[in-house]
Amino acid sequence: MTDIKLAPNEDHEIIQQKPIYVVFDGKLPGVYISFEEIVAQKIDAKLMGGISWKKYKDIDEALSQARKILGINYYLEPAAKEYIQKCKKAKGKKTPEIPIKTTIKEEGYSKKPTYKECLTKGVDPLDGEYIDWKIIEKFKEASPQLKKELKEEILKELKQEMDHKFEQIKKAVDEKLEVSFSNLDTMDLGGHGQPDE
């Protein structure tokens, strides 16, 4: 009897499972896998209005919810489309599911939890505080321009208001100091009035 070791089939592509996000309303409703796009839309939504989205683990469920709520002509992020096609192709080959070990780069020391800390604690890094910190970071990047625009707008409004108040004060002073003089009213340099007639 001979021992034969079978080499792993290289045709099977192992795909790391990623969450799928469906944005129901916002700047561009659709299906995404890139959380950065969701964060960017959430920042825009804070400035413009609201955004609602949901995270799905199951591709079929995410797509059916997107079809049900957004209709058949919904936006599909190119990266999400590629990921979905790879997953469907891999499911078609019926690859045994092998857990994938991911190495996550250590991030610098900070009071904020890193992505790795979130994973080791069992916390979903794309929910709750981690999202808020990412949004705050993005907002800090955009805030100097927003502050400048806001400052210019406030200064413009103040200038208009001051001009209006100045015109009102000028009008009130002119009304109080309005004295009518006749052509006969004259006074000499010595302060003497009109001669008697």
Nearby residues of 9 by Cβ (< 8 Å), 6 or more positions away: none
Alpha helix (H) ranges present in 19-128?
35-48, 59-70, 78-93, 115-120
Question: What's residue 134's pLDDT?
Answer: 77
| Cα gap 129→137, rounded to integer Å | 12
Question: What's residue 91's pLDDT?
Answer: 76
- Please report the sign of the dihedral spanned by the C-alpha atoms of residue 170, residue 171, residue 177, residue 183: positive
Q: Does 155 or 138 have the greater pLDDT score?
A: 155
Residue 163 has pLDDT above 90, yes or no: yes
- The 10s digit of each residue's pLDDT in 97-119 is 444 444 444 444 445 556 666 55
The token duo for 89 is 């192709």
Lowest mean pLDDT among 2-16, 148-162, 174-188: 2-16
Q: What is the pTM of this model?
A: 0.34
Residue 154 has pLDDT above 90, yes or no: yes
Name the band, by pLDDT with cuts 50, 70 and 90, for residue 179.
low
Name the band, by pLDDT with cuts 50, 70 and 90, for residue 92.
confident
Residue 2 has pLDDT above 80, yes or no: no
